[in-house]
Amino acid sequence: MNLITRSDLDGLTCAVLLKEVEIIERITFAHPRDVQDRTLDVTENDILTNLPYHPDCGMWFDHHSSEEERLDIPAAFEGRFEVAPSAARVVYNHYRSHRFHKYDYLVSQVDKVDSAQLSVEDVTEPSGWVLVSYITDPRTGLGRYHDYGISNKDLMHRMIDLIGTHSAEEILAMRDIRQRVRRYFEQEDEFRAFLQKASKRDGNVVLTDTRGMAEVPTGNRFLVYTLFPEANISVRVMDGRDGMNAVITIGHSIFNRTSRTNVGELCAKHGGGGHRKVGTIQVEGDYADDTLAVVLEQIKKDG
């Protein structure tokens, strides 16, 4: 079968596990919007992981709470859905294979990162699998650069083999990863200064708007919570692919855990999706400001 997954650490780990128990002939990386908009060719020979349900897929594994609200998912489908710390955990729980035992620590670290059970030190001084997760996360922004020894897409395919056979420390010491790690830390202070300049707090929300900006420094998406500790939720607006749309990402603070907004439910109302604490909306550029205003109003109302 073929596997369609996301190119973050959770999606990559899903691939590691599935290669142990299924015959995977090809792996394709996709964005949730590709599935939602039906721009992706999906067949019964495809396994989808860490992505929204597609009626034509052969198997599906996911953990995003917004999928519970959908009415087009049949009661019986091949695969597994459950609200879990990670999609990798869903795959792990489904097969319960003895072949997975060697990945117990890896999956526990994916659970930690994907459910944002992180310390301040994990955010400001990352190491180990936490740092690997930032390096592989498209939202960090390292993929915008093209001066590496290997392209980001090719590296993510290679990472599937690496994370299944090497420790985090061994991976971080490898040349192609080390290039990205160096850039991540070189831009750390610049990214912090950028967030302080481009963000503003409005009640319980911290809003960061990067639309129209030619270049945004690389950095992990949790740093904003250390800079605005009074905010219990963040909203970030950025240009989408080729500037044709806008992307609105919403997330509960991982330190000030008092927000009452069900983010996945809120995003689903606007054509997006996610978990109770984090989610994403993609909207046509002309409607971005209106959608953003409605979202901010609801979040502030929730408190």
Taking the domains of the chain in order of start, what are their residue ranges? 2-161, 189-302
**Predicted confidence (pLDDT) at residue 136 exceeds the cutoff of 80:** yes
pLDDT digits (tens, 9 = 90+) for 147-164: 999 999 999 999 999 999
Cα four-point dihedral sign 81, 83, 88, 94: negative
Q: What percent of the chain has pLDDT over 70?
A: 98
Q: Considering the chain, what is the average pLDDT of its residues? A: 93
Mean pLDDT in residue range 169-187: 97
What pTM, to 2 d.p., does this model score?
A: 0.91
**Predicted confidence (pLDDT) at residue 179 exceeds the cutoff of 90:** yes
User: Residue 187: what pLDDT?
Assistant: 97
**Predicted confidence (pLDDT) at residue 146 exceeds the cutoff of 80:** yes
Q: Taking the CB of residue 71, how many other CB atoms lie within 10 A of it?
A: 4
Mean pLDDT in residue range 82-99: 96
Higher pLDDT, 244 or 166: 166
User: Residue 33: what pLDDT?
Assistant: 81
pLDDT range class, residue 281, cuts 50, 70, 90: very high
**Predicted confidence (pLDDT) at residue 69 exceeds the cutoff of 80:** no
Task: Note the CATH number of domain 189-302.
Answer: 3.10.310.30
**Predicted confidence (pLDDT) at residue 291 exceeds the cutoff of 90:** yes
pLDDT digits (tens, 9 = 90+) for 254-274: 999 999 999 999 999 998 888
pLDDT digits (tens, 9 = 90+) for 5-51: 999 999 999 999 999 999 999 999 998 888 888 889 999 999 999 99
pLDDT range class, residue 240, cuts 50, 70, 90: confident
Higher pLDDT, 214 or 237: 237
Q: Count of alpha carbons within 13 Å of 285, Cβ hemisphere only? A: 10
pLDDT range class, residue 197, cuts 50, 70, 90: very high
**Predicted confidence (pLDDT) at residue 72 exceeds the cutoff of 90:** no
**Predicted confidence (pLDDT) at residue 71 exceeds the cutoff of 70:** no
User: Residue 37: what pLDDT?
Assistant: 81
